[in-house]
Structure 1
Amino acid sequence: MSKDDYIYEALPGRPGGPLLFVFHGTGGDEHQLVGLGRDLAPSAAIVSPRGDVSEHGAARFFRRAAEGVYDMADLARATGRMAGFIEAHVAAAKPSAVWGLGYSNGANILASVVFARPDLFDAAVLMHPLIPFEPQVKGSLAAKRLLVTAGRHDPICPPVLTDRLLAYLRDGGADVTAAWHEGGHEVRPNEIEAARTFFGASEFQGA
């Protein structure tokens, strides 16, 4: 595992405070969500990696054959590499808590890491995740605090798949909150407010 497995941006936070990892959407980069992360979690140190896969010039965290059709072997590769990257940064920073925030493709890699290594994160926000497969959790989701945000008319992530993910997480014992809006795949103000409240409560609870 290495802190330099990905190109990334890092911002300092309060000494001994939480560490927030942020994961951009397709076509974004390590700068896309840093400002949002700082707004939502002002006391947290932030690490924002850039996806290491190019899809017609657009950065992603893993390959896909088509919209919603994932290269599962590459997702496994990316999940293992990202877990090592996160572990290395956590070992160096020794934070009070480890949080995650991802949008779209970034939410998907974050979710995949949570499934593979539930021990790595205390709390995570998944904005418009698309999980078109049956997750295999290697550990326990009990007491993990998760916020899932979604659009009722999202053309990329059908609400039925979001509902299935929510049910799966809850069945696994996670403490899950959902924030919906009536739009599509875009991030709306109510999602941002829900995430701000979520991270504020996570810090208060010491998560």
Structure 2
Amino acid sequence: MSKDAYIHKLLPGEPGSPLVFALHGTGGDENQLLGFARDLVPGATIIAPRGDVSEMGSARFFRRTGEGVYDMDDLARATAKMAGFVKAQVEAANPSEVFALGYSNGANILASVLFAAPDLFDAVALMHPLIPFAPDIKGSLEGRRVLITAGRRDPICPPDMTSRLDAYLRDAGANVRLEWHEGGHEVRPQEIEAMKRFFAGTEQGK
């Protein structure tokens, strides 16, 4: 897969720095999380792709037939495409570490890539993911660090689904940290602080 498989933006980082993939939510684009990712991991190279699916004009990474109802065939297509894109970018950059973060739809495609290719990333932050299916994890997530952030009153991502994803990842061997706030689908300051600590490696899963 080409490293130009997606329209994307790249912020060059310092030599030997981590490579961070930043995946936007529905209706966002390659600009949504670009600066945010740079703030989270100063000095890193940031790559932010734009979703290749349009839902009534809103960019997404895979199709759905309703809220929380995924087109699983298109999710499989998108997962393979994103995994190939990440691999090509990593081979070109030869970074010290590979991180990724995603919000909402971006978190969902990122989680699917993590299930399909557990060895791609060293650390992954999933902001408000919704995985309404039992994942088929292709191998072990042993040694992989995962942060999940979520709202206890999120109308899009019910807390029980978040807890189920947490359990799936732990069962596969991942070192998972689950950070809750009392709100909904919005990103709150405590999430941002948790992500800074997570990518800095100062907070372990529990």
User: Structure 1: which amino acid aligns with 2:180?
Assistant: W
Partners of 1:2 and 1:14 in 2: how far apart? 23
User: Structure 1: which amino acid aligns with 2:81?
Assistant: R
- Unpaired runs of 5+ residues, structure 1, are none
User: Structure 1: which amino acid aligns with 2:93?
Assistant: A
Alignment of 1:6-155 (within 5 A): 6-155=6-155
Partners of 1:147 and 1:115 in 2: how far apart? 15
Paired residue for 1:172?
172
Q: 1:79 deviation in Å?
A: 0.3
Partners of 2:128 and 2:192 in 1: how far apart? 12
User: Structure 2: which amino acid aligns with 1:71?
Assistant: D
Cα distance per residue 1:12-51 (max 9 Å; x no partner)? 1110110000000000000000011011000210000000
Partners of 1:106 and 1:121 in 2: how far apart? 15
Partners of 1:158 and 1:45 in 2: how far apart? 33
Partners of 2:39 and 2:46 in 1: how far apart? 11
Structure 2-normalised TM-score?
Answer: 0.97
Q: 1:109 deviation in Å?
A: 0.4
Cα distance per residue 1:104-161 (max 9 Å; x no partner)? 0000000000000001001000000000000001111111100000000000000000
SS at match of 1:125: strand
Partners of 2:168 and 2:73 in 1: how far apart? 22
Identity rate, percent: 69
Structure 1-normalised TM-score?
Answer: 0.97
Q: 1:189 deviation in Å?
A: 0.2
Structure 1 vs Structure 2 CA RMSD? 1.2
Partners of 1:65 and 1:15 in 2: how far apart? 43
Q: 1:78 deviation in Å?
A: 0.2
SS at match of 2:201: helix
User: Structure 1: which amino acid aligns with 2:178?
Assistant: A
User: Structure 1: which amino acid aligns with 2:124?
Assistant: A
- How many residues are matched? 204
Cα distance per residue 1:173-198 (max 9 Å; x no partner)? 10000110000000000000000000
Q: 1:53 deviation in Å?
A: 0.0
| 1:198 equivalenced with 2:201 (yes/no) | no
Q: 1:70 deviation in Å?
A: 0.1
